[in-house]
Structure formats: C-alpha cells, structure tokens
Amino acid sequence: MKYKVGLTSRIIHTKEYFEIRDCISQDMIKFVQKFDLIPIVIPNNHKLIEEYIKMVDFIILTGGNNIHNQIEPSNQEYSISKVRDEIENEVIRRCIENNIPILGVCRGMQLLNTYFGGEITKLENLADHNATKHNIYFKENIISNEKNKSIVVNSFHTFSIETLSSELVAWAHSEDGKIEGFKHESLPIYGIMWHPERKSYSDYSVNLSEKIINKLIDKK
C-alpha cells in the first residue's frame, strides 16, 4: 500500500494577477516521490482541514513565508502568514489527535517550536544561514548514534530558535549554536532547518534526510 503524504502550501500574493495563491515547490513533490509516497497538497482553507487530514498518513510542514508574529502588522505578508499559521497549527493539532507523524522543514520546524510553547527570533547574521551552506554537528545522531560528527547542509532561513520548547529535544546544532534538528520527546514529530528537497551539498545530509522520512513512515 502506498502512503499518502500531506504537504502544506505556502501563500503568495501575485501582483500580476491580483490574486492570493497557494503553491508548493515542484522540488518537494519530486522529493517525496523518492519514497513512493503520494503527495496531497493541503490548501490554506479552514473548512477543508478535517477532510484532508483523513486522507493522509504523514505530514510535511513545508518552508516559505514567515511566522506572522515576527512580522510588522503593517506589512502585507503579516495577514498572509497569519492565515497560514492558523491553518498549520490546526493541522498539527489534528495530527497529534490522530497520531499522524509530522516533519517540519525550515519554517515548519519553527512553527512546531512555537506550537509547543517555544520562541523564535530573527537572525543577527543572515550571511551564515540565508541562501548558503554550513556544517551541523550532532549532540545525538538519531539515526546511527554517532556523536560529534559534522555534515554540510543547505540553509535558507532568516529566523532561528530562541527558546526550545520543553517538549522538544535538540539533536543537531550549527557551529554558532543554532538548533538545526529536533524531535518531540514522545510523539512522532521531527524538525529540520535545512531543505531536503533542495540541493543538500553532501551525500550524508541527503541520506540523513531520507532516513528521517523513513523513520517517520515506519511509525505507521
């Protein structure tokens, strides 16, 4: 039986057509196809969440947009991100109720942290984390139990975790101490700050991303 993975969608405002659109990277679709998963794109619509949750076996909270409470209310992105935050917080709640595994990617990882009571903050030095690559180091390697090993990952974020939720356990950090990977202490929930669907710069990081996905799929 093929599992169905729900992919949350980012919201964009297209000035050319004066429309607000839901969208998702084609790279993410190709990425989940590696696991023989059927992608189900979840729209940002409150009335449809329940029906979509019934369809899926696994959820990826994808990247894009910022967390709305980190944006000035006067900014156009504020209202767009607020809607997405509300939708994805409801998705998280329903997944927990139904024991559906979750992987948070970049923004998705940040949102998981805030959902469980943690805090995020804007990075002071964007050059080290935005549109670049860097090493991450393992406090605990959740796959092979290796410690102190470093790998190279991509990095496309402008916010980082300021305070980690007490329900989450960090297992990877960047050289400057930013949390790059966590897991929930008891639920099938993981967060990674890099984008596994984009170029990952090292075979090991590709393998690690794939092993995390397989680990969550196995929860089913």
Catalytic residues: 106, 195, 197
The H or E element spanning position 76 is helix 76-97
Q: How many helices (H) and strands (E) does the chain have?
A: 5, 13
Task: With beta carbons less than 8 A apart as the criterion, state whether 212 and 103 touch.
Answer: yes
Helical H runs in 144-198?
none
Q: What does the block give as tokens for 5?
A: 């993975």
Backbone angles phi, psi at 208, to 5 degrees: -65, -45
Of 120, 123, 107, 108, nearest to 176 by C-alpha is 123
Task: With beta carbons less than 8 A apart as the criterion, state whether 169 and 187 touch.
Answer: no
Residue 129: how many other CB atoms lie within 10 Å: 21
The CA distance from 213 to 204, in Å, is: 14
Task: Give me the amino acid identity at 75.
Answer: N
Length of the chain: 220
